[in-house]
Amino acid sequence: MSDAVELPVTYGDIEQARERIDDETVVKQTPVEYSRSLGEFVDADVYLKMEHLQWTGSFKTRGAYNKISQDVAAGAQKFIAASAGNHAQGVALAATKCGADSTICMPTNAPQAKIDATRGYGATVELVGDDFQETMAHAQSLAADDEDASFVHAYDDADIIAGQGTLGIEMYHDHPNLDTVVVPIGGGLISGVSTALKHLSPDVRVVGVQATGAETVHESLDKGAPVTLDEVDTIADGIATGGISETTLSIIRENVDEVVTVSDAQIAQALLLLLERAKQVVEGAGAASVAAILSDDLDVSGETVMPLLCGGNLDMTMLRTLLIHALTERRQILRLRVRIDDRPGTMSELSGIIAEYGANIHDVRHDRSVVDLDVGEAYLVFTVEASGEEHTASILDGIEGAGYEVELATHT
């Protein structure tokens, strides 16, 4: 890092933001919890920063209130923003708290829970665009056509970044002796948190995390300019921006020590682990930091590390999808394909065998129109709930022991 580089947000800006948001009804100090279980997985002391317990379920209110409160004091009364969900709620709450109106443009595929919550905080919601880039373009057009409206960018704004940076101050005071902090990359969060932490503790390692299907930072750093993706594909909608700004890139270049990427499968596993071991419900972006410390790409062994759980607004449909995927990976949901002579009583016999091994059958179907089957044969495909690898092996052995040909039809 170079001390000569002048960045767009200073630690002084973040301190001023902290004074503005010093209101527990707007932004509360979120807890930190030591996780013995995660620590054992990675051979480190792991402290979870539980920002998903913030009002609105994410850090976004910090930046939104810092900006909107200043703009309202200067006479603004109407705000427009684009968001996949968390920024939407932050802007809606901040505007309402400041006595202003807000219009939030959200992608048509935004989670219904986030749409409802945004309206609940007092905003008018417009659903437009198949992805964030389209939504952003529409929102900016609305703001350009309305001279009375102020546009609130999700991350490319110094006041937004300074507000998010207050979380970095809080994390430092939560545990001043941190070796590594892990922060999901959407834009303003990594910019603000890294600026605060590098001022307070220059030796702390700041690691940013992107989802594989939304990765832009490595290429942007290589090219020296922000790169934008044509398409984004990740379950972590909170960090699915598809690009970073020049402001974010300049701050990452100076303040972020390392950037790692994690797959959707890794995020799903981290989410399930947080549910089971930490008893915390987080969204995909919130689980990305834990996925990073569990990955082979980031070594935190022997360290004191703080993954940032940045959001908890998980759509229940997405939760179901993530759980099914993760449980399939862990051999707790199986699809067994058994080749049979298609005669009465065979399904009952196989169901009995599966039941003998203490497994629960979710559903079963016949497949008869398969090329490799002989006349009079069929496949029975069972979706079965098991307890894990060993239980799965015993079920397969039991079916094969009864004389049937069986395979796991779907597994990774």
Each residue of 17-46: pLDDT tens digit? 999 999 999 999 999 999 999 999 999 999
Which two three-digit tokens encode residue 351? 């169901």
Looking at the fold, whether 308 and 179 belong to one and the same domain comes out as yes
For residue 107, is it within any domain?
A: yes
- Which helix H or strand E contains 95, and what residues bound it? helix 86-97
Q: Is residue 358 part of a domain?
A: yes
Co-location of 90 and 142 in the same domain: yes
Same structural domain, 204 and 245: yes
Residue 203, judged by CB atoms within 10 A of its CB (0-12, 13-18, 19+), counts as: exposed
348 is a domain residue: yes
| Residues counted in the chain | 412
Mean pLDDT of the 194-223 span = 94
Q: Are 207 and 308 in contact (CB under 8 A)?
A: no
Q: Is residue 338 a contact partner of residue 321, using CB atoms and an 8 Å limit?
A: no
Same domain, 105 and 171: no
* 68 is a domain residue: yes
The residue range of the domain holding 122 is 60-151
Instruction: Quick: pLDDT tens for 266-304.
Output: 998 899 899 999 999 999 999 999 999 999 999 999 999
If asked whether residues 404 and 356 sit together in one domain, one would say yes
Residue 182 belongs to a domain with what CATH number?
Answer: 3.40.50.1100
Whether residue 130 sits in one domain with residue 184: no
Residue 262 lies in a domain: yes
Clarify whether residues 45 and 81 are in a common domain.
no
Q: Tell me: the pLDDT tens digits for 238-269?
A: 787 788 889 999 999 999 999 999 999 899 88
**Residue 6 belongs to some domain of the structure:** no
pLDDT at 33: 97
Residue 89, pLDDT > 90, answer yes
- Look up residue 44 and give its DSSP letter: S
- Both structure tokens of 136: 């952003």
Least confident range of 68-77, 87-96, 211-220? 211-220
| Closest to 189 (Cα-Cα) out of 18, 89, 310, 12 | 310
Residue pLDDT, tens place only, 353-366: 999 999 999 999 99
